[in-house]
């Protein structure tokens, strides 16, 4: 794997190589991606960096054109996707600032364009939604950067854009979710439809509803600080290369 996509979420990932390179906005059969895709070299790899929500957070989670985003990254030659997310922590141990590499997802979203409807096989295998090789690579990068990452957990993908009620979080907890966010689906499933290895790297920025006070200022600060760590971790991985 030589060319990797990094999708940034509500808190951008400040990758240092991104000052170089050029931007591309491929049009796709599904419309335009959220933003121009920035292409640059970092370590041993080419990086394609895309802001999921677009400039100035233009698109809320249900407005994002996930199909155009994933298609455009593949069109530009991405061989894998590191998708970053800010999330709420449901499990008590997952406090703000914690990094999580979940291994499962439950989709509570609705009404989103969730398939490419490609001809042929319609029932893609999705037992394990996140690529194990990419998870191991990121875990190794974390180790090399002196960062702790919680390995495993279930991402509950909610519709938003509002936050959840405490009862909804209790329900997600009961159903096995450890973190909650609004954007991993249908993104992960669309990547699978295109056979693109995909991994979710989550930063907990708040306790989920009913699990503690949600302070939007803390949230933003934790997001900024945490995404600097995420950038360092990803840069370490890019130096190591996917075999590292």
Contact positions vs ligand HPA (CB under 6 A): 86-88, 158, 163-164, 180-182, 205-206, 208
Report the Cα–Cα distance between both ends of the chain, in Å, rounded.
12
Nearer to ligand HPA, 61 or 80 (CB): 61
User: Between β-strands 22-24 and 179-181, what pairing exists: parallel, antiparallel or unpaired?
Assistant: unpaired
DSSP category for residue 216: H
Nearer of residues 160 and 244 to ligand HPA, judged by Cβ: 160
For ligand HPA, which is the closer residue by CB, 101 or 180?
180
How far apart (Å, rounded) are the C-alpha atoms in residues 203 and 102? 11
The minimum distance between CB 215 and ligand HPA, in angstroms, equals 12
Q: Which residue is nearest to ligand HPA (CB)?
A: 88
Nearest distance in Å: CB 210, ligand HPA: 10
Q: How far is the CB of 187 from ligand HPA (least distance, A)?
A: 14
By C-beta, is 134 or 180 nearer to ligand HPA? 180
Using an 8 Å Cβ cutoff, are 208 and 156 in contact? no
Residues near 239 by beta carbon (within 8 Å), at least 6 away in sequence: 43, 44
Min dist. Cβ of residue 182 to ligand HPA (A):
5
**What is the C-alpha to C-alpha distance for residues 190 and 157, in angstroms, rounded to an integer?**
14
């Amino acid at each position: 794997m030589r060319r990797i996509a990094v999708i940034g979420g509500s808190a951008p990932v400040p990758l240092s190589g991104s000052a170089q390179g050029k931007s591309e906005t491929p049009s796709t059969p599904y419309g335009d991606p959220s933003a121009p895709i920035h292409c640059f070299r970092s370590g041993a790899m080419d990086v394609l960096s895309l802001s999921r929500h677009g400039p100035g957070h233009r698109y809320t989670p249900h407005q994002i054109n996930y199909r155009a985003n994933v298609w455009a990254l593949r069109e530009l030659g991405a061989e894998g996707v590191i998708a970053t997310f800010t999330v709420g922590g449901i499990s008590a141990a997952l406090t703000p600032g914690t990094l999580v590499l979940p291994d499962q997802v439950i989709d509570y979203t609705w009404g989103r364009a969730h398939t490419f409807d490609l001809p042929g096989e319609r029932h893609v295998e999705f037992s394990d939604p996140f690529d194990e090789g990419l998870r191991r690579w990121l875990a190794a990068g974390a180790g090399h950067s002196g960062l702790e990452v919680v390995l495993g957990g279930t991402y509950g993908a909610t519709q938003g854009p509002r936050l959840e009620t405490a009862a909804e979080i209790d329900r997600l907890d009961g159903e096995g979710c450890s973190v909650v966010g609004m954007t991993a689906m249908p993104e992960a499933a669309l990547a699978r439809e295109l056979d693109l290895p995909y991994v979710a790297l989550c930063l907990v920025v708040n306790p989920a509803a009913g699990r503690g006070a949600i302070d939007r200022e803390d949230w933003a600060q934790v997001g900024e600080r945490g995404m600097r760590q995420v950038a360092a971790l990803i840069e370490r991985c890019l130096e190591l290369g996917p075999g590292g």
